[in-house]
Structures are given as C-alpha cells and as structure tokens.
Amino acid sequence: MQIKKETEVACGGVPTAVQLEAINAQAKGKLTAEQVYVFCLRLCDDQVDRDGERFDTAALPELAKLFIGKTGIVDHKWSSDSQVARIFATEVVKDNGISYIKAWAYIRRGGHADEVIADIEAGIKKEVSVGCAMGRAVCSICGGEYGTCGHVKGERYDGAVCSAILKEPMDAYEFSFVAVPAQRDAGVLKALGSRRCLKELAEEFGAQAEYRALYKQAQLGMQYQQLLGDEVVRLCLTLSLGIEEPVLRSIVSKLGAEDLMKMKSALQERMEEMYPVKCQLPGAGALGDGMESDFLI
Ligand SMILES: [Zn+2]
C-alpha cells in the first residue's frame, strides 16, 4: 500500500566533512562544502498519526535505508530541474520513547536551487511530503490484517483505540517540498496528495447518500459475518469437538466471511451425518397404492 505523510524541515546549513563525504558518495561530481546546502528532516515516526496509522517501530531501520539516495522535488513537479535535493544519510533516533527516522539531504547551490534554499531558510518551504510503500497493515486491536478483521481505525474497543500498524517496508519514494503560506487553504492540502477519508470525499462531491447506503451495506455485511461466526461456534460446540468456546471465538474472529461459510457448511454436513433429520410426513414413495386409488372414481 502507498503511504503518504507530511513532515517538516528541521535545520539547515553548511555540511561537515563527514557529511560531505556521504554527499559525494551520492553526487555524480565532486562537490565542495561551499557548493552544497545541507538540511535535515524528520521523515516519519512510530506514533499514531491523524490517519489512525503508525509505522511499526521495528520497521523503521529498514525504511530509513530505503530513503537514502531519494530525491526531493518542489511542489510535485517531475521535471529534472525541480529535483533539487537528495537524501544522503538517515538514522533512526529514539527520543522520549518515540522512534523516528531522521534524514539529511543536500541541495546543490546555484540558480533555481537558491530560491528553494532561501525559502527553506525563511520557513516557507518548511513542510515536506514523503511517500513510501508498506507491505502490510496490521490491526492494533487483534493483530489481524487491517481491513479484514472488522476493527476500524479511530474507533474504541474496550477502551483501546484501533490503529493500523504499517509493517514490511517495500519502497520509499521521492519527497516533495510544499510551500506553506501563512494561511493554509484547501488547495494546498489537496496538492499534498494527503490521504483523506471516504466520508470527507463524499461530502465534498455531494455523494453523501451513496456513502450512507454503502456504509449501511457494510454494517450489514459485518453483522452477517458476526452471525456466521456465532453459527460456526454453535455448531462446533454442538458437535463436541473438544475445543473451548473462547478458543473457538478467537479462531473465528480471524476468519473472513468466505472461510466461515465453508466451515459452516462442512460442520452442517457433519451434523446431518451424526444427527440425521427424521421427516414427520411420509415421502411420496411411502404412500400405498390403495391411498391413491381412493381418489379414483
Ligand atoms: Zn482487528
């Protein structure tokens, strides 16, 4: 899944000798300290963000490595001259129980880049949008794959707020500087490509009725899955499989609707074998010839 987050430029200035060496490992030409401007940024941390997601702390070192060599572009323009910055070093920093990826990037001074540097110095290009691809999102409540377990980000379950934990870093993308004017307007936020929830989009595009209908259907789907789970548990208990109810419930909570349906029909078959249903009324074959002849004139 594609992940996009906003962050901030933290500091800037002239590179140290060690930094310059790392920069020259990335740069094609040999650059001098005077030719480059260095700044650092906090790429992402392991805290729950406004999307109700957080990066797995254990995934940060791998993700940090993926960001090395990635370029920074201005306002999502993909022309080569807008690729002004490049990350040359990253590290995972632990601060007050929070782990985050700190990155150092450089900009080659001169021409168009000087405007960007001036903007960073002035705090105008303070915000940075970063993107990456993560292989898995896991539910913080049950540990199942997020999106299949029925728990919803931001909702409360027995006092714990559900969040999606992003694991298995796959790729890191270019980052982009975003000019942040004193007054933020919706246009800038949209350009960030920030992830917005379906409800907000439905409101913006006048699709509330459709959204509500879909929401209702989804709720019904979840209720159906719950009923299926209950039925599977009931069948298992009736068949005395020797599995305790809490264990059954735990197993069932991890299954999707399709698996539950398969389980239910398999258990029902077993039920019918063990306790065949006896029909109260005689079948057609059981009727004697004499009975039918009663109606013959
Ligand atoms: Zn869950």
- The 3-state secondary structure of 118-151 reads HHHHCCCCCEEEEEEEEEEEEECCCCCECCCCCC
| Domain identity same for 178 and 78 | yes
The C-alpha atoms of residue 84 and residue 36 are separated, in whole angstroms, by: 11
| Domain identity same for 115 and 241 | no
Residue 237, pLDDT above cutoff 50: yes
205 within 8 A of 178, measured Cβ to Cβ: no
| Domain identity same for 176 and 245 | no
| Domain identity same for 8 and 106 | yes
Q: What is the pLDDT of residue 195?
A: 47
Higher pLDDT residue, 233 or 293?
233
| Domain identity same for 21 and 102 | yes
Q: How far is the CA of 203 from the centre of ligand 1 (A)?
A: 27
Burial of 37 (0-12, 13-18, 19+ CB in 10 A): buried
Q: How far is the CA of 252 from the centre of ligand 1 (A)?
A: 12
Q: What is the pLDDT of residue 90?
A: 94
> Of 22, 192, 35, nearest to 103 (Cα)?
22
Q: What is the pLDDT of residue 180?
A: 54
Q: What is the pLDDT of residue 190?
A: 26
| Domain identity same for 6 and 120 | yes
pTM reported for the whole predicted model: 0.56
- The residues whose Cβ lies within 5 A of ligand 1, an ion, are 139, 141-142, 144, 149, 151
| Domain identity same for 182 and 247 | no
Would you say residue 10 lies in a domain?
Answer: yes
Q: How far is the CA of 104 from the centre of ligand 1 (A)?
A: 36
Would you say residue 164 lies in a domain?
Answer: no
| Domain identity same for 61 and 188 | yes
Q: How far is the CA of 123 from the centre of ligand 1 (A)?
A: 41
3-class DSSP state of 259: helix
**Can you say whether the dihedral through the CA atoms of 84, 89, 91, 96 is positive or negative?**
negative
Would you say residue 155 lies in a domain?
Answer: no
Would you say residue 149 lies in a domain?
Answer: no
Would you say residue 290 lies in a domain?
Answer: no
Q: How far is the CA of 215 from the centre of ligand 1 (A)?
A: 18
Q: How far is the CA of 200 from the centre of ligand 1 (A)?
A: 23
| Domain identity same for 35 and 125 | yes
Q: How many CB atoms are closer than 10 A to CB 49?
A: 15
| Domain identity same for 254 and 116 | no
If pLDDT is split at 50, 70 and 90, which confidence band does 117 have? confident
Would you say residue 108 lies in a domain?
Answer: yes
Domain total in the chain: 2
Q: How far is the CA of 257 from the centre of ligand 1 (A)?
A: 15
Would you say residue 279 lies in a domain?
Answer: no
Q: Which domain holds residue 181?
A: 2-45+54-136+169-195
Q: How far is the CA of 240 from the centre of ligand 1 (A)?
A: 28
| Domain identity same for 238 and 130 | no
pLDDT, tens digit (0-9, with 9 covering 90-100), for 180-197:
543 333 222 222 233 456
243 within 8 A of 211, measured Cβ to Cβ: no
The C-alpha atoms of residue 98 and residue 96 are separated, in whole angstroms, by: 5
Q: How many CB atoms are closer than 10 A to CB 65?
A: 14
Would you say residue 80 lies in a domain?
Answer: yes
Q: How far is the CA of 134 from the centre of ligand 1 (A)?
A: 18
If pLDDT is split at 50, 70 and 90, which confidence band does 9 have? low
| Domain identity same for 234 and 188 | no
Q: How far is the CA of 233 from the centre of ligand 1 (A)?
A: 19
Distance of CA 9 to the CA centre of its chain: 24
70-79, 86-95, 182-191, 215-224: which has the highest mean pLDDT? Answer: 86-95
Q: How far is the CA of 150 from the centre of ligand 1 (A)?
A: 6
Q: Which residues pair with 83 in a beta bridge?
A: 73
Q: Mutual orientation of helices 257-274 and 208-238 as an angle, nearest 10°?
A: 30
